[in-house]
Structure formats: structure tokens, C-alpha cells
């Protein structure tokens, strides 16, 4: 592609400069008011099967307002934003835009009204320049007439300067930092002349300095009358930036407030909740010896999207459930892989199972020592979707259940064992031995959990045991974990769900940025403390 | 609006067994329609394509001869394809197997060393194909090179090596400058099975390969690991299988069987090396493997259909003046029908009206 100034008809060219001028004027043309209600979502409900992701949520954003949408992972923020962006249609509820009820059939409908999104994950072509990446995503209305790379390049520089988003249009994307890549996404959004800009955890990949620069830009946009919806769980940012916050938990609206008049503790409390939905069965059982121990585990990140683990220390006793809290992407999968043996530790003595050094052993050797593992992803990691349940049983138990004789698999025995899992863990299946992929999330998770628990492990490591699972199955799974511990096993639960951790753990530690805090007895910490630690705040008076 | 394939919770075994038959009938009807549109009688075509070869001993033996290399290669490919590894270079491994397998018979030609030479030649053929297949596999495992491209490109290298050998160092000095080697001794030639027919003992090797592979793929932990790696690599890691080791092993097996097919073809049928030792068997075997739904027993069926239509196609060309391309066209129709029938047996079609995304 090449800039070709002469081929542009004068009229189109004029039209484009006018349009871009509107952008530069910062949305302050006569049609754009600087205050007043911009969008109101009322009673939004969205269900996925039996799971209600959004339950009667209302949310209003005013012009010139930076509005925070707070909530833990799985609280329903993304679903709500996908509805606002036209990616999903609500089952109930309405969206009023500038006083008019609107229905989005597609993201294009939302874009036409001026709703722009900046996603957490970038969609950029690595080998193309900044300019090309922006050009390729421009809406047809800008592109069809008077499209001109030379002018676009100039506009990018101008808009960049006006909003402090310095970017050289000719640079190839692969040479840019995460912060610079995000600027591309924001400039893309700005060129669409947005009335409402939605940012989904924009600082999660930024350095503190880059984040500061972003805040200046966002405040500038707000002053010019653009409404901003800022999704985050970083409370200090929200306090600094936002004048209003809507808080979701478990798909429900739990509150609205002005974050500036709250403190971080009260916000965290609203976010993570204070009610305890299920009480631990306090059957008396002995806490035994240490069965799983991690000694100063440090692992570099295997790739650029992963987290490194820094000096992880932990120990789990027999009869005990250790909970590891933390927001997704803070090293949970990496820690799980290191514990399971899917990633090997640098030294054998770094990880001990029943005092045996296992850091250099693979997953099957660790299973042979009595460990069992339940990964976060059910489909494709913990189970093969296309394979029948009995074949999926073989997956983790071929070495430990005499299923493998002279290299041949005893599929009949596997079938018996899998039927045992199905009946003991109340896995609802259609058909007799259906493929794993045909089960609902909750039922498949019950199968995977049951498969590992019926192997009678001495050590169980489980990552997000009830992620995306309906409430009934979640209770059953938690109960099974507690019961396993009561029988003397060491259970390590990695979870983002604080309610879950508080209801089943004896001690809780927090994983943040690949580092693990000391484990605190569950009775001696509050949700607020843990919530703050999850959000990365330093808590000195932990109690 | 778009269409979505939704996996069925349970598939009746009867439907699964009948689906290839339905596919054959459908493909036959479509081919009949094409033949009718070309102004020939579909019934006469059916007669020549299918019925006549099946009733004729010579044609049956010819079919068997085609089925031997196709079955051997396709059975090997089943290992790779089940592991989701795309060995497109079986043709090259076939050629390399023929070359390496021919080293001893050619070097000792005229000495009449006896039967043991044949056994060594066959083993060397297997090794030649296996080692040649390990090149793309090793490149993939160590450096992440796409095995599709590298295995395909190695085909041309193998063919050029063969071309060089039969025009250069291995050319028969009494061959009137034809690019071909000397003829193998009787001792290094695969024996013929029935009297004065042409069908050779390669058939037994093919049957053994199919039976062993059926057991290995269906009931062994290795076969299970291949399936897991093919459908969910992370689950394979969770299960404790090493993707790299299995990738190397399936390529070695696949290449070994292709190499065996190569030396079997040379020592059983052709009797010498020349540039045209393959009728594209390595590529046709890809179709055969999928016609057989990536199952060794299915491969026999696939090889049968492809060989039958190939023989029938030659007859139809002579008797009905139908183009030979029609055979390829029919094989394509058949493959599509089999794959479609398979997909529709295990999944049902759902019409989705609105764009919808999972949360």
C-alpha cells in the first residue's frame, strides 16, 4: 500500500478532514454535550444454559464521566460489556442510548452509535506497521471515500500528540512494547469518534509509568465529554481515576458508589463479598505431617504471555486444605504446571511429595508417589472432548490403576472405573459412556474431580476447581475436596473464588505477580485483607 | 445465520457401521449422474468399472498388486494422521526405502546369494524410509519446522536421488542407456503367491501390517497416546506422554512402512530400480488413509476401492471412451462422501440464527 494524494477527489478529501477535525476538536461539536446521561442499561439478564452470567444488572454512564466497573473474575463484567458492545444479546433488559432504546444486532451497530472498546488482549498484526494496523481496522465509513494512508499517518501523529499517545506510524508492531501496542488500540478507538469508550483492564499489561501516561489521556478524553467505562480490579487505580463505580459479584449488581469517598478496604469488601454461602463440615480430623512441600521454587516464564514464579515457598500437611488466592494471570497455571510435573523444577529438592524430592520427575512419576492433579481447563487439558468418559479415565490413571499391562490398555477395567466415578460423583450423562465434550461444564468437572479423588491420592493439587461450574456442582466438588483432606490427604486449591477458599481452606496464601505470600490461617484473616493482597496492595497489618 | 456441528451424545454403532456404505452409494449415484450427463449409460459404466474387474482373475491380481503398496503406506500414515501430524512425504519415504533396500541386491547381483538377502533388503528398506521420515519429524520437534512442508519437499529430493542413481552409478551398463538398474537376482525377488500369477508375497506383509496396527492403535497404550496427542496435546502432557517422543515414533513407523512398500514394489513387481517405481502411491495413500477413516481395517477397504476404480477406470477409458480423470473425480467424490457421512454420524447440524459468543 502506498500513499497516493492525487487520486483523492477534492470533495471526499474535504469530507475526511472535516470528520477528522471533529475528532480533534475532541468531540466538542454542537451535537456533543459534555454532561448528562449517555447510556443506561437496565435490568440486563444473560444466561448461558443453567448459568446466569448477568442477573438484572443496571448501569448508567454519563458524558465526561470515568465510570468504574468493578468485580472479580467471573463476576459478569465481560458479559455485560459484550452486551453493551453488541457481541452478545441480553435475554432481558434494555439499553437506552441518548434517551432512545436501542438494540444491537452486531458490534457494528454499537460502533455506529460511537461505542468503542479497547480490549485487554490486543489484536494486532506483528509484521505490519502501526499505520497499517490502524488502517486495516478503520470502519468502512472512514475508509471507503478519501482513504489515504499519507493523511492517516499525519492524523495518527496529531491525535497522538493531542492525547499524549506518541507513536511513530511507520514502526513495525513487533518492535513495540506492550504500552505502545495499547496506544495503537486506543488510537484506533479514537479515530472511530467514540462517545463511549470501554477499556477492559487496560493496565494489566502496562508498567506503572505507562499506566500513568494512560490515565492522563483518559482524563483528557473525559474532559472533552467522552464517557468512559473502566473495567478493573485494581482498586487504587479506580480511586484515582473514577468518579463513580458499579460493583458486580456473582453476576449480580451489589452496589454503586463514589470510589473517592470510599477506602480501598470497603471497595474490596464489596467486590469479594462478606457472606459465607456454605459452611465447612468441621468433622474433627488430625493435621498430619507435611505431604507436599515447595522450597524456594523459581521458574522463568516459558513464553512472553506467561508469568515467572519467584521464590515460592509452601507446605501442605496431611488433612489440610491450603488455598491459594489470586487474580488470573498471576502465575496460577505456571505454579500448577510446576507442581504437576508438566514443567520441571530446576532442582529435584525444590518440590517434595511425602519428603521425596520430585522436582525433576514427570507427572506420571509423581502420580506413582500418590499425587493427583486437576488442571483449570477441563476440555483439552483435564479431559479430551472427543473421547468417551472411560477413555478419559485412562488419561490420568493408566499408570496407577493397573490399566496398562504389557503396553496394552485394559479398556474394560477403565470402563468399570469410569462408571464408578459417574455413579459416586453423580455425573449426569446422556447415553452410557458419552464423549467428554457432550457433558455440561459442571458434570464434566465432577467427573474429572471424581476421577482424581477415586485414585485415592495422598496429595491433590487442583487449579480453579469450580470455575464456570453451576452452584450445585460447585458445592459437591468442594465437599469432595474437604472429605479427601479429612481422610488424611494434603489438598492444595488454587482459586480465584474467595468465597470458595474461605469455605474450604485451613490456610490461605495469595499469589500475586508470581510471588506467593505467607499462608495465613483462614480464621485469622478477613476477606478484605486477602482482597487487598490480590489487588497487589501491600498489607502490613494482616489480620 | 450459520451452521454449527454439534457432537452427538451417543452414536449408534449401526449408524457408524453403515455410514461408509451410505457414502459409497451416494458417491456412486453422483458419479452415475456425471456419466449420464456425459451421454454414457451409467449402468454400462458400473458394469465396466466395478463388476468386470471383480470377476476377472487377472484384474483381481492387478488390484491386489496396487493394494499392497497403498495399504502398507496408508497404514503407516494412519499413525501420523491420528497424532495430528501431517506426513505428506510418504512418496519420498517410499522412494528412499526402495533405494536403500536395493543397495545389497544390486551390489551382490549375479552372486545368487539366496533368500536371506531378501530379508536384509526388506529390513534396509524399512530403515531407509524410517530414517528419511525422521528428518521432518526431528526438524519439527527440535526447531518447530512445519512437517507438512519439509516432508513434502523431501519427496522431490528422494526422487532426484533416485534419478541420479539410475542414470549414474547404478545404471545397468547393458541397458541401452535407459535410466534403470540391473534386474534383481531371483533370490532377492519376492516370491509369487499363486502359480503363474503376478501377486507376490508383499500381500502377506501388508496383511501383517494391518493386523498388528489394528491391535497397536486400538488397544495399546502407545495407540492411546497417539490419539490423545492428536486431539488434545495438553491432555497428553497431563497424561504423561512425551509429544516429542511419540512424534518421532509415529514418523518412524510411517516412514518405515512406506519404505517397506518401496522395496516390496521394487523386489516384488518391478525387479529393478528406475525413475518410475511409483504410480504416486505415496500421495494416493493419503486419500486411502482418509477413505479408511484412519483405521487400519478401513485402509484395506480404501485401498480396495481406489485400486478397483483405477483398474476399472482403465477399462472404461478403452471401452466407453471415458476420460481417466473421471476415476480421480470419483475417488474425490467418494472421499468427500465418506468424510461427510462420518462427520454427520458423530455430529448433528444446528442452525444458529444470531451471532453468539460464549462468555
CATH number of A290-386+457-534: 3.40.50.300
Instruction: Give the CA angle between residues A76, A81, A87 to the nearest 5°.
Output: 110
End-to-end CA distance of chain B: 19
pLDDT for residue A335: 96
CB B130 within 8 A of CB B256: yes
Give the other-Cβ count within 10 Å of B156's Cβ.
Answer: 13
d(CA B255, CA B130): 4
For residue A368 the three cell numbers come to: 506413582
Q: Which residue has the cell 486495516?
A: A136
| Chain A interface mutation, best of B6, B224, B233, highest count of A Cβ atoms under 10 Å | B224
Alpha helix locations (H) across A425-519? 441-453, 471-486, 498-504
More confident residue, A153 or B209: B209
CB contact under 8 A, A384 and B231: yes
List CB contacts (< 8 A) between B358 and chain A: 48
Instruction: Give the CA angle between residues B48, B51, B57 to the nearest 5°.
Output: 100
d(CA B205, CA A114): 70
Q: Residues 361 to 420 of A: which have CB under 8 A from any B CB?
A: 362-364, 367, 373, 375, 377, 379-387, 391, 394-396, 398-399, 404, 407-409, 411
More confident residue, A52 or A320: A320
Q: CB-based contact (8 Å) between B55 and chain A?
A: no
For residue A483 the three cell numbers come to: 472429605
Residue A13 has pLDDT above 60, yes or no: no
Residue B356 has pLDDT above 80, yes or no: no
| Chain B interface mutation, best of A408, A438, A462, highest count of B Cβ atoms under 10 Å | A408
Up-side HSE of residue A178: CA atoms within 13 Å toward CB? 15
Give the mean pLDDT of A365-394.
Answer: 94
For residue A362 the three cell numbers come to: 514427570
Give the phi and the psi of residue A263 in degrees, each rounded to 5.
-110, 170
CB contact under 8 A, B7 and A342: no
* Domain locations in chain A as residue ranges: 5-272, 290-386+457-534
d(CA B251, CA B226): 11
d(CA A143, CA A513): 42
For residue A321 the three cell numbers come to: 486444605
CB contact under 8 A, B231 and A411: no
Is residue B347 within a helix (H) or strand (E), and if so which, with residue range? strand B347-352
Residue A24 has pLDDT above 60, yes or no: no
Q: CB-based contact (8 Å) between B235 and chain A?
A: yes
Q: Which of A388-397, A456-465, B193-202 has the lowest mean pLDDT?
A: B193-202
Environment class of A314 (CB within 10 Å of its CB; exposed 0-12, middle 13-18, buried 19+): buried
Q: CB-based contact (8 Å) between B169 and chain A?
A: no
Residue A29 has pLDDT above 50, yes or no: no
Give the mean pLDDT of A220-239.
Answer: 85
CB contact under 8 A, A46 and B238: no
Helix axes B325-346, B296-319, angle to 10 degrees: 150
Give the mean pLDDT of A316-325.
Answer: 94
For residue A25 the three cell numbers come to: 476538536
CB A389 within 8 A of CB A433: yes
Give the other-Cβ count within 10 Å of B258's Cβ.
Answer: 37
CB contact under 8 A, B232 and A384: yes
Q: CB-based contact (8 Å) between B7 and chain A?
A: yes
CB contact under 8 A, B239 and A342: no
CB contact under 8 A, A380 and B234: yes
CB A192 within 8 A of CB A171: no
User: Is the fold of A5-272 the same as that of A290-386+457-534?
Assistant: yes
d(CA A137, CA A188): 7
Q: What percent of chain A has pLDDT over 70?
A: 84
Give the other-Cβ count within 10 Å of B185's Cβ.
Answer: 19
Q: Which residue has the cell 500369477?
A: B197
Q: Model confidence over A232-278: pLDDT tens digits?
A: 767 778 888 898 999 888 888 888 888 888 877 777 777 766 543 45
For residue A504 the three cell numbers come to: 474450604
- pLDDT band, very low/low/confident/very high, at A393 (cuts 50, 70, 90): very high
| A18, A23, A28, A30: CA torsion to nearest 10 | 30
Alpha helix locations (H) across A114-148? 130-137, 140-143
Is residue B42 within a helix (H) or strand (E), and if so which, with residue range? helix B42-46
Q: Which of A128-142, A227-241, A511-525, B79-93 has the lowest mean pLDDT?
A: A128-142
For residue A513 the three cell numbers come to: 505477580
Q: What percent of chain A has pLDDT over 90?
A: 36
- pLDDT band, very low/low/confident/very high, at A203 (cuts 50, 70, 90): confident
Is residue A371 within a helix (H) or strand (E), and if so which, with residue range? strand A371-374
End-to-end CA distance of chain A: 61
Q: What is the mean pLDDT of chain A?
A: 83
For residue A70 the three cell numbers come to: 468493578
Q: Which of A3-7, A148-152, A290-294, A485-489 has the lowest mean pLDDT?
A: A3-7
Q: Which of A4-18, A486-500, B59-73, B286-300 has the lowest mean pLDDT?
A: A4-18
CB contact under 8 A, B7 and A381: no
For residue B343 the three cell numbers come to: 462427520
Q: Model confidence over A421-464: pLDDT tens digits?
A: 999 998 988 778 988 988 877 889 999 999 999 999 999 999 99
Class of domain A5-272: alpha beta
- pLDDT band, very low/low/confident/very high, at A170 (cuts 50, 70, 90): confident
CB contact under 8 A, A340 and B238: yes
More confident residue, A364 or B1: A364
pLDDT for residue A7: 42
Helix axes A389-397, A441-453, angle to 10 degrees: 40
- pLDDT band, very low/low/confident/very high, at A317 (cuts 50, 70, 90): very high
CB A328 within 8 A of CB A73: yes
Q: Model confidence over B102-118: pLDDT tens digits?
A: 999 999 988 878 888 99
The distance between the two most distant Cα atoms of chain B, rounded to a whole number of Å, is 76
Amino acid at each position: 500500500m502506498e500513499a497516493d494524494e492525487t487520486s483523492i477527489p477534492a470533495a471526499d478529501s474535504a469530507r475526511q478532514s472535516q470528520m477528522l477535525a471533529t475528532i480533534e476538536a475532541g468531540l466538542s461539536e454542537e451535537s456533543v454535550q459534555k454532561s448528562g446521561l449517555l447510556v443506561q442499561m437496565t435490568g440486563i439478564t444473560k444466561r448461558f444454559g443453567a448459568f446466569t452470567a448477568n442477573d438484572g444488572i443496571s448501569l448508567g454512564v454519563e458524558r465526561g464521566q470515568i465510570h468504574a466497573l468493578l468485580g472479580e473474575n467471573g463476576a459478569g463484567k465481560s458479559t455485560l460489556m459484550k452486551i453493551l458492545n453488541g457481541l452478545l444479546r441480553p435475554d432481558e433488559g434494555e439499553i437506552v442510548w441518548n434517551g432512545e432504546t436501542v438494540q444491537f444486532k452486531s458490534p457494528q451497530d454499537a460502533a455506529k452509535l460511537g461505542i468503542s472498546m479497547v480490549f485487554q488482549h490486543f489484536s494486532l498484526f506483528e509484521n505490519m506497521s502501526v499505520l497499517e494496523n490502524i488502517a486495516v481496522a478503520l470502519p468502512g465509513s472512514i475508509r471507503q471515500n478519501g482513504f489515504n494512508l499519507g493523511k492517516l499517518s499525519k492524523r495518527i501523529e496529531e491525535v497522538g500528540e493531542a492525547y499524549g499517545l506518541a507513536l511513530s506510524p511507520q514502526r513495525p508492531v513487533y518492535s513495540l512494547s506492550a504500552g505502545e501496542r495499547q496506544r495503537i488500540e486506543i488510537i484506533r478507538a479514537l479515530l472511530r469518534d467514540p462517545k463511549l469508550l470501554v477499556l477492559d483492564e487496560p493496565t494489566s499489561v502496562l508498567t506503572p509509568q505507562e499506566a500513568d501516561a494512560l490515565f492522563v489521556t483518559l482524563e483528557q478524553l473525559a474532559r472533552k465529554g467522552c464517557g468512559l467505562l473502566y473495567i478493573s480490579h485494581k482498586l487504587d487505580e479506580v480511586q484515582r481515576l473514577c468518579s463513580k463505580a458499579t460493583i458486580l459479584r456473582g453476576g449480580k449488581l451489589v452496589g454503586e458508589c463514589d470510589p473517592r469517598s470510599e477506602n480501598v478496604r470497603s471497595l474490596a469488601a464489596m467486590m469479594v463479598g462478606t457472606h459465607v454461602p456454605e459452611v465447612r463440615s468441621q468433622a474433627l480430623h488430625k493435621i498430619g505431617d507435611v505431604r507436599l512441600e515447595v522450597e524456594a521454587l523459581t521458574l522463568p516464564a516459558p513464553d512472553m504471555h506467561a508469568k515467572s514464579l519467584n521464590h515460592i515457598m509452601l507446605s501442605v500437611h496431611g488433612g489440610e486444605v491450603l488455598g491459594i488466592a489470586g487474580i488470573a494471570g498471576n502465575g496460577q497455571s505456571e505454579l500448577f504446571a510446576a507442581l504437576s510435573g508438566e514443567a520441571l523444577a530446576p532442582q529435584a529438592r525444590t518440590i517434595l511429595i511425602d519428603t521425596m524430592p520430585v522436582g525433576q520427575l514427570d507427572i506420571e512419576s509423581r502420580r506413582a508417589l500418590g499425587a493427583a492433579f486437576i488442571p483449570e481447563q477441563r476440555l483439552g487439558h483435564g479431559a479430551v472432548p472427543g473421547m468417551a468418559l472411560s477413555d478419559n479415565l485412562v488419561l490420568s490413571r493408566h499408570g496407577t490403576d493397573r490399566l496398562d499391562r504389557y503396553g496394552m490398555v485394559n479398556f474394560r477395567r477403565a470402563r468399570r472405573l469410569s462408571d464408578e466415578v459417574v455413579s459416586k460423583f453423580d455425573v449426569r450423562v446422556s447415553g452410557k459412556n458419552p464423549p467428554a465434550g457432550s457433558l455440561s461444564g459442571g458434570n464434566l468437572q465432577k467427573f474429572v474431580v471424581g476421577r482424581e479423588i477415586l485414585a485415592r491420592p495422598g496429595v491433590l493439587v487442583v487449579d480453579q476447581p469450580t470455575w464456570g461450574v453451576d452452584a450445585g456442582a460447585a458445592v459437591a466438588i468442594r465437599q469432595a475436596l474437604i472429605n479427601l483432606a479429612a481422610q488424611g490427604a494434603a489438598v492444595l486449591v488454587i482459586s480465584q473464588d474467595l468465597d470458595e477458599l474461605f469455605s474450604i481452606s485451613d490456610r490461605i496464601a495469595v499469589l500475586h505477580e508470581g510471588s506467593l505470600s505467607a499462608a495465613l490461617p483462614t480464621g485469622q484473616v478477613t476477606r478484605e485483607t486477602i482482597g487487598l493482597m490480590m489487588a497487589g496492595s501491600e498489607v502490613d497489618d494482616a489480620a | 445465520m450459520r451452521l454449527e456441528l454439534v457432537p452427538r451424545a451417543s452414536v449408534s454403532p449401526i449408524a457408524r457401521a453403515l455410514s461408509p456404505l451410505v457414502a459409497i452409494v451416494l458417491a456412486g449415484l453422483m458419479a452415475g449422474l456425471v456419466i449420464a450427463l456425459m451421454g454414457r449409460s451409467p449402468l454400462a459404466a458400473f458394469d465396466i468399472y466395478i463388476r468386470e474387474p471383480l470377476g476377472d482373475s487377472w484384474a483381481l491380481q492387478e488390484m491386489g498388486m496396487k493394494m499392497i503398496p497403498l495399504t502398507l503406506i496408508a497404514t503407516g500414515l494412519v499413525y501420523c494422521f491420528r497424532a495430528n501430524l501431517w506426513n505428506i512425504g510418504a512418496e519420498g519415504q517410499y522412494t528412499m526405502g526402495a533405494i536403500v533396500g536395493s543397495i545389497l541386491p544390486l551390489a551382490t547381483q549375479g552372486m545368487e546369494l539366496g533368500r536371506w538377502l531378501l530379508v536384509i533388503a526388506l529390513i534396509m528398506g524399512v530403515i531407509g524410509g524410517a530414517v528419511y521420515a525422521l528428518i521432518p519429524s526431528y526438524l519439527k520437534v527440535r526447531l518447530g519446522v512445519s512437517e507438512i512442508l519439509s516432508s513434502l519437499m523431501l519427496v522431490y529430493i528422494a526422487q532426484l536421488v533416485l534419478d541420479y542413481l539410475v542414470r549414474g552409478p547404478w545404471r545397468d551398463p547393458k541397458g541401452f542407456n535407459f535410466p534403470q538398474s540391473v534386474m534383481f537376482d531371483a533370490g532377492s525377488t519376492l516370491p509369487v503367491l499363486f502359480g503363474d500369477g503376478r501377486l507376490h508375497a508383499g500381500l502377506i506383509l501388508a496383511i501383517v501390517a494391518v493386523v498388528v496396527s489394528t491391535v497397536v492403535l486400538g488397544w495399546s497404550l502407545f495407540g492411546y497416546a497417539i490419539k490423545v496427542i492428536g486431539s488434545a496435546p495438553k491432555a497428553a502432557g497431563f497424561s504423561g506422554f512425551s509429544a516429542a517422543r511419540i512424534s518421532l515414533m509415529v514418523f518412524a513407523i510411517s516412514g518405515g512402512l512406506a519404505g517397506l512398500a518401496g522395496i516390496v514394489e521394487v523386489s516384488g513387481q518391478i525387479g529393478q530400480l528406475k525413475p518410475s517405481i511409483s504410480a504416486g502411491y505415496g500421495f494416493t495413500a493419503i486419500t486411502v488413509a482418509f477413505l479408511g477413516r484412519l483405521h487400519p481395517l478401513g485402509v484395506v477397504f480404501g485401498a480396495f476401492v481406489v485400486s478397483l476404480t483405477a483398474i476399472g477406470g482403465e477399462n472404461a477409458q478403452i471401452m466407453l471412451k471415458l476420460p481417466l480423470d473421471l476415476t480421480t473425480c470419483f475417488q474425490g467424490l467418494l472421499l468427500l462422501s465418506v468424510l461427510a457421512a462420518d462427520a454427520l454420524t458423530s455430529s448433528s447440524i444446528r442452525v444458529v440464527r444470531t451471532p453468539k459468543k460464549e462468555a
